[in-house]
Amino acid sequence: MARARDVVLSALLLFVGRPRPPRVRRGDYERIIPERPPDAGGELLAIALFAASALCAIAFVAFYALDRLPNQTQLLGGSLGLSFCFLAAGLIVTGRRVIVTEQLEHDYPAEEHREDQETVARIVEESGDRVTRRRFFKLALFGAGGALGVALITPAASLGPFLDVDPFYATPWRRGRRLVDESGRPYRADDIEVADFYTAFPEGADEENIASPVVLVRLAKDQLALPAALARYPADGIVGYSKICTHAGCALSLYRTPLFSPVEPGPALVCPCHYSTFNVADGGTVEFGPAGRKLPMLPLAIDRHGYLRAAGNFDEPVGPSWWGVRDRKPTS
Amino acid sequence: MIRRLVRYLDQRSGTAPLMRRSMRYLFPDHWSFLLGEVALYAFIVLVVTGTYLALFYTDGTTPVHYHGTYAPLRGQEMTAAYKSVVDLSFSVKAGLLIRQTHHWAADVFIAAIFVHLLRVFFTGAYRTPRELTYWLGVTMLMVALLEGFLGYSLVDDLLSGMGLAIGYAVVLSIPFVGANLAELIWGGPFPGGQSFFARMYILHVFLIPILIAVLLTAHLALVALRHHTQFRGRRQTQRKLVGLPLYPAQTPRSLGLFAAVAGVLFLLGGLVQINPIWLWGPFHTYSSTNGAQPDWYLGWLIGALRLVPGWDFTIGHYTVVPNPFWGGAAFPLVVFGFLYLWPWLERRFGGDVAYHNLLDRPRDAAWRSAIGMGILTWTSFVFFAGASDRVDVLFGLSYSAQIRAYRVLVWVLPIVVGAITYRVCIELRRGELVQGERKRAEAEARAARGPA
């Protein structure tokens, strides 16, 4: 008990007891930093803030060590953040009240050094004095540097195929390939209902290939308004489009399909990235938004067991546009 | 003790004169000079928290099945990269705190650079002799945007993948070389080859941070060599710099600011959720989510991508300019091109080639303020356009109507705001002149009446 009282008393003394007189040297030489009277209140405030900072830091370690606490992220962040904030407050009090704030002046550095500029220029000029075939020399030197630079950059071509653009036209779709869902189960034509949309992949192909995913929707026969060239694409009112937006390559994950009057505007696929909107009734034309190409359409057929199969490849290359995207048809 | 230490260092490095001068280096006492410091401190927090994250992250794209502590994701197929970040968030003690602090610090870092840039621009601090400092700063902003994009792409959650798909489309859209460049960067068509994540990783944690550190060092060295600019004052002139010495007066202030920045970032990281990747789920090329928004500093690009009307520019079968180029590449190139060229433009057409240590107030350079406000309005409204879908959801304003309105507003408003700014600057200057003259006349009148 007595021991505890001693500790408390000495702690109190430490904080509020008579401070020692400030350490000020005087007399024998001129000071650099001007002399100001001490600010006991400021000092005490700074000390208290530093102590609070230390307590919060210790709390952080404790929260970290105690496994079973709920909301650990909040406690850890709160304690560490507060520790830094108290430290900041203590330092700012130190800067404003404890340490002498001097407003000094001095001259800006010289704008320029004419003599030195001249010397530098002359050293460079005179260094080349002895060269007689100056142009030839420069050509050879820069030629060597340039060629070496090209040589050093060459291995960068290994980063990718670079010149071969065939992969951009390739798709895993070909005539007869079955359409399956994410888990590999084949779609039957009966699975596809009006006013819903389905994601399908070519059976056995890599689902992550951007030429793989297809959106399936079923439209009433009288809703379809396909141009003559695409008229053979739907199978019993089911149409399939590439799921990858032709603008920036995001997956089309919104199907706008008005179910009651007014049913205008008609059913469309919408990209959630930049809201390109593609009409599903007329072959995937762009209705709104920044896409510059229609959505590639996949010809569909129903086999005698009722499964959906591709009746060919897409009518256009899949994915965002590039310089050759209108050059060729997609390849299998 | 201090004497012995200083003597030891001086004898071995000969730097006592440098130390003396550095301690007396002067900082003008104005809050707006601290904005750049905030960016610096956020960068330090980024390096420290990022190093910690790198101790747990893996850049693998091999598909794995999740069997961790977060029940809703159990059994799902995902990349090793995404799994490592989910594990870091749920199974590593303090992992989520550090990850969220890192993300917040990135947002604050770029915000601080942006506000610092506004201060530098509108006060003319970039003028001779400080153009190099300015160009280094603009470059850092550009590099920081890329660094931030790479950072949230590495996580490989659904939003990461959607961002990367858009990034891929923008690279693909570069005229004449886009497809080849994209193949080089991604190692093949999207989602790219096995090594694409390794490429992003080394850029994000090594090459770009080092580049920023080098640019930052050069930026600060140039600031110190030419000294700070300052606002005109009674004692502050073109030749005389007035301020607090680095030591002792400025040191606790700067350290305090550092601690404040770190404190706020850790509080945000601990208390304010950011990017809850477990809710987005893993990325697959065939999935996306509605209502996706990037980090704030890429909002201007998503706005631009959404605003451009839907056409590819073609000649015959050749696609010269695919659509995403306009919003994703041309627009930021124009904005950064303006920032780079501006000091030169002002010298060339404003005719002011003098040496400046004193700052302008925005009103002192009406043309600069007007053009700056115009460009700021332009980029801001493109940025706002990027949030139109959220406005549609929150307030029921039709998305397509908003986009059509923005297509006009982004061209009209900059001119209106620029003109108003110009007028306001001129009027403020005129008001000052009138006030000055009245004061002088009153003083003269008092003097004429004599010491009554």
Q: What is the ipTM of this complex?
A: 0.94
The answer to whether residues A201 and A181 touch, using CB atoms and an 8 Å cutoff, is: yes
Q: Which residues of B touch A216 (CB under 8 A)?
A: none
Give backbone dihedrals phi and psi of A322, rounded to 5 degrees, phi first. Answer: -150, 180
- Please tell me if residue A128 touches chain B, with a CB cutoff of 8 Å: no
What mean pLDDT is reported for chain B? Answer: 95
Q: Which residues of B touch A111 (CB under 8 A)?
A: 129, 355
Residue A239 maps to which CATH number? 2.102.10.10
| Whether residue B162 is found in the same domain as residue B233 | yes
- Please tell me if residue A59 touches chain B, with a CB cutoff of 8 Å: no
Residue numbers of A between 290 and 319 with CB closer than 8 Å to B: 290-293, 319
Question: Which pLDDT belongs to residue A6?
Answer: 76
- Please tell me if residue B274 touches chain A, with a CB cutoff of 8 Å: no
Confidence of residue A27 (pLDDT cuts 50, 70, 90): low
Domain hosting residue B83, numbered range: 28-282+303-339
Question: Which pLDDT belongs to residue B13?
Answer: 96
Q: Which residues contact A188 (CB under 8 A, 6 or more apart)?
A: A305, A306, A307, A308
User: How far is Cα B93 from Cα B287, in angstroms, rounded to an integer?
Assistant: 31
> Is B348 among the domain residues?
no
| Whether residue B330 is found in the same domain as residue B396 | no
From the list A77, A208, A323, which residue is nearest B179 (CB)?
A323
**Last residue in a domain, options A67, A99, A131:** A99
* Cβ separation B264–A81 shorter than 8 A: yes
Of A73, A275, A287, which to mutate for an interface test with B (greatest number of B Cβ within 10 Å)? Answer: A73
- Please tell me if residue B28 touches chain A, with a CB cutoff of 8 Å: no
* Cβ separation B286–A212 shorter than 8 A: yes
Nearest one of A312, A152, A155 to A235, comparing CA atoms:
A312
Question: Which pLDDT belongs to residue A243?
Answer: 97
From the list B169, B178, B183, which residue is nearest A247 (CB)?
B169
**Chain position carrying tokens 């430490």:** A14
Give the pairing of strands A198-202 and A104-107. Answer: unpaired
Of A86, A92, A207, A250, which to mutate for an interface test with B (greatest number of B Cβ within 10 Å)? Answer: A250
> For residue B351, what are its two tokens?
């005719």
| Whether residue B251 is found in the same domain as residue B332 | yes
| Whether residue B312 is found in the same domain as residue B401 | no
Closest residue, chain B, to A329 (C-alpha): B317
The answer to whether residues A187 and A197 touch, using CB atoms and an 8 Å cutoff, is: no
- Please tell me if residue B111 touches chain A, with a CB cutoff of 8 Å: no
pTM of full prediction above 0.90: yes
For residues A191-196, give the mean pLDDT: 92
Question: Which pLDDT belongs to residue A24?
Answer: 58
Closest residue, chain B, to A68 (C-alpha): B93
From the list B166, B250, B259, which residue is nearest A88 (CB)?
B259
Confidence of residue A25 (pLDDT cuts 50, 70, 90): low
- Please tell me if residue A65 touches chain B, with a CB cutoff of 8 Å: no
- Work out the burial of residue B317: count CB atoms within 10 Å of its CB; fewer than 13 is exposed, 13-18 middle, 19 or more buried: exposed
Render pLDDT for A79-135 as a digit per residue (tens, 0 to 9): 999 999 999 999 999 999 999 999 999 999 999 999 999 999 999 999 988 999 999
Cis peptide before A262 (omega within 30 of 0): yes
DSSP line for A220-235:
-TTT----GGGTT--B
Question: Which pLDDT belongs to residue A15?
Answer: 60
**Chain position carrying tokens 């130190």:** A94
| Whether residue A65 is found in the same domain as residue A190 | no
Confidence of residue A30 (pLDDT cuts 50, 70, 90): confident
> Is A1 among the domain residues?
no
> Is B344 among the domain residues?
no
* Cβ separation A289–B29 shorter than 8 A: no
Of B266, B356, B397, which to mutate for an interface test with A (greatest number of A Cβ within 10 Å)? Answer: B266
pLDDT at A29 over 80: no
Q: Which residues of B touch A293 (CB under 8 A)?
A: 312
- Work out the burial of residue B65: count CB atoms within 10 Å of its CB; fewer than 13 is exposed, 13-18 middle, 19 or more buried: exposed
> Is B104 among the domain residues?
yes
The answer to whether residues A283 and A294 touch, using CB atoms and an 8 Å cutoff, is: yes
Question: Which pLDDT belongs to residue B268?
Answer: 98
| Whether residue B61 is found in the same domain as residue B160 | yes
| Whether residue B380 is found in the same domain as residue B252 | no
* Cβ separation B322–A254 shorter than 8 A: no
Number of domains in chain A: 2
Chains A, B: CB pairs < 8 Å: 293
Render pLDDT for B183-219 as a digit per residue (tens, 0 to 9): 999 999 999 988 999 999 999 999 999 999 999 999 9
> Is B351 among the domain residues?
no
From the list B172, B307, B327, which residue is nearest A320 (CB)?
B172
Q: Which residues of A touch B253 (CB under 8 A)?
A: 91-92, 95-96
- Please tell me if residue B170 touches chain A, with a CB cutoff of 8 Å: yes
> For residue B289, what are its two tokens?
């989510």
| Whether residue A86 is found in the same domain as residue A168 | no
**Across A73-77, A130-134, A259-263, least confident range:** A259-263
> Is A153 among the domain residues?
no
Question: Which pLDDT belongs to residue B267?
Answer: 98
| Whether residue A218 is found in the same domain as residue A72 | no
* Cβ separation B184–A272 shorter than 8 A: no
Helices (H), B123-226: 131-154, 158-172, 178-186, 196-202, 208-226
From the list B176, B184, B302, which residue is nearest A159 (CB)?
B184
> Is B345 among the domain residues?
no
Secondary structure letter of residue B234 according to DSSP: S
- Please tell me if residue B187 touches chain A, with a CB cutoff of 8 Å: yes
Closest residue, chain A, to B180 (C-alpha): A162
E strand or H helix at B26: strand B26-27
User: How far is Cα B122 from Cα B105, in angstroms, rounded to an integer?
Assistant: 26
Residue numbers of A between 175 and 204 with CB closer than 8 Å to B: 199, 201
| Whether residue B370 is found in the same domain as residue B335 | no
Nearest one of B80, B81, B86, B148 to B114, comparing CA atoms:
B148
Q: How many CB atoms lie within 10 A of CB A213?
A: 25
| Whether residue A177 is found in the same domain as residue A65 | no
* Cβ separation B249–A102 shorter than 8 A: yes
For chain B, the first-to-last Cα distance in angstroms comes to: 64
pLDDT at A26 over 60: no
The answer to whether residues B313 and B178 touch, using CB atoms and an 8 Å cutoff, is: no
E strand or H helix at B245: strand B240-245
Of B254, B285, B306, which to mutate for an interface test with A (greatest number of A Cβ within 10 Å)? Answer: B285
The answer to whether residues B252 and A91 touch, using CB atoms and an 8 Å cutoff, is: yes
Residue numbers of B between 384 and 443 with CB closer than 8 Å to A: 389, 399-400, 403
Percent of chain A with pLDDT over 70: 93
* Cβ separation A78–B185 shorter than 8 A: no
Number of domains in chain B: 2
Give the pairing of strands B63-65 and B77-79. Answer: antiparallel
- Please tell me if residue B22 touches chain A, with a CB cutoff of 8 Å: no
**Chain position carrying tokens 């893996």:** B58
**Last residue in a domain, options A52, A77, A99:** A99
Of A56, A274, A288, which to mutate for an interface test with B (greatest number of B Cβ within 10 Å)? Answer: A274
For residues A164-174, give the mean pLDDT: 95
Render pLDDT for B381-438 as a digit per residue (tens, 0 to 9): 999 999 999 999 999 999 999 999 999 999 999 999 999 999 999 999 999 999 999 9
| Whether residue B253 is found in the same domain as residue B397 | no
> Is B78 among the domain residues?
yes
User: How far is Cα B46 from Cα B110, in angstroms, rounded to an integer?
Assistant: 11
> For residue B192, what are its two tokens?
């790219």
> Is B325 among the domain residues?
yes
Give the pairing of strands A286-288 and A277-279. Answer: antiparallel
| Whether residue B38 is found in the same domain as residue B86 | yes
How do the pLDDT tens digits run along chain B, 452 residues long? 899 999 999 999 999 999 999 999 999 999 999 999 999 999 999 999 999 999 999 998 889 999 999 999 999 999 999 999 999 999 999 999 999 999 999 999 999 999 999 999 999 999 999 999 999 999 999 999 999 999 999 999 999 999 999 999 999 999 999 999 999 999 999 999 889 999 999 999 999 999 999 999 999 999 999 999 999 999 999 999 999 999 999 999 999 999 999 999 999 999 999 999 999 999 999 999 988 899 999 999 999 999 999 989 999 999 999 999 999 999 999 999 999 999 999 999 998 999 999 999 999 999 999 999 999 999 999 999 999 999 999 999 999 999 999 999 999 999 999 999 999 999 999 999 999 999 999 999 998 887 65
> Is A105 among the domain residues?
no
pLDDT at A12 over 80: no
Render pLDDT for A278-309 as a digit per residue (tens, 0 to 9): 999 999 999 999 999 999 999 999 999 999 99
> Is B75 among the domain residues?
yes
**What is the 3 state secondary structure string of A243-288?**
CECCCCCCECCEEECCCCCCCCCCCEEECCCCCCEEECCCCCCEEE
Q: How far is B426 from chain A (nearest CA, A)?
A: 31
Question: Which pLDDT belongs to residue A258?
Answer: 82
User: How far is Cα B316 from Cα B309, in angstroms, rounded to an integer?
Assistant: 20
- Work out the burial of residue B220: count CB atoms within 10 Å of its CB; fewer than 13 is exposed, 13-18 middle, 19 or more buried: middle
> For residue B107, what are its two tokens?
């947002």
| Whether residue B320 is found in the same domain as residue B375 | no
| Whether residue B151 is found in the same domain as residue B81 | yes
Q: Which residues of B touch A162 (CB under 8 A)?
A: 180, 183-184
Q: Residue A68 in 3-state DSSP?
A: coil
* Cβ separation A85–B168 shorter than 8 A: no
Question: Which pLDDT belongs to residue A28?
Answer: 67
pLDDT greater at residue B23 or residue A70: B23
Domain hosting residue A80, numbered range: 37-99
- What are the CA-CA distances from residue B16 to residues B5, B6, B19, B244 (Å)? 11, 7, 5, 20
Cis peptide before B252 (omega within 30 of 0): no
Render pLDDT for B301-316 as a digit per residue (tens, 0 to 9): 999 999 999 989 999 9
User: How far is Cα B405 from Cα B391, in angstroms, rounded to an integer?
Assistant: 14
The number of helices, as runs of H, and strands, as runs of E, in chain B is: 18, 6
From the list B241, B260, B288, which residue is nearest A88 (CB)?
B260
Nearest one of A55, A42, A64 to A84, comparing CA atoms:
A55
Cis peptide before B191 (omega within 30 of 0): yes
* Cβ separation A95–B252 shorter than 8 A: yes
The answer to whether residues A237 and A220 touch, using CB atoms and an 8 Å cutoff, is: yes
Q: Which residues of A touch B185 (CB under 8 A)?
A: 159-160
**Last residue in a domain, options A60, A81, A99:** A99
User: How far is Cα B424 from Cα B105, in angstroms, rounded to an integer?
Assistant: 36
The four Cα atoms B413, B414, B420, B423 give a dihedral, to 10 degrees, of -150
From the list A94, A201, A290, which residue is nearest B252 (CB)?
A94
Question: Which pLDDT belongs to residue A69?
Answer: 81
The answer to whether residues B130 and B357 touch, using CB atoms and an 8 Å cutoff, is: no
Residue B223 maps to which CATH number? 1.20.810.10
- What are the CA-CA distances from residue B320 to residues B164, B169, B182, B306 (Å)? 23, 14, 16, 20
| Whether residue B418 is found in the same domain as residue B278 | no
Question: Which pLDDT belongs to residue A21?
Answer: 64
- Please tell me if residue A212 touches chain B, with a CB cutoff of 8 Å: yes
Question: Which pLDDT belongs to residue B292?
Answer: 85
- What are the CA-CA distances from residue B144 to residues B39, B59, B209, B287 (Å)? 11, 21, 9, 28
Nearest one of A205, A275, A207, A270 to A241, comparing CA atoms:
A270
- Please tell me if residue A91 touches chain B, with a CB cutoff of 8 Å: yes
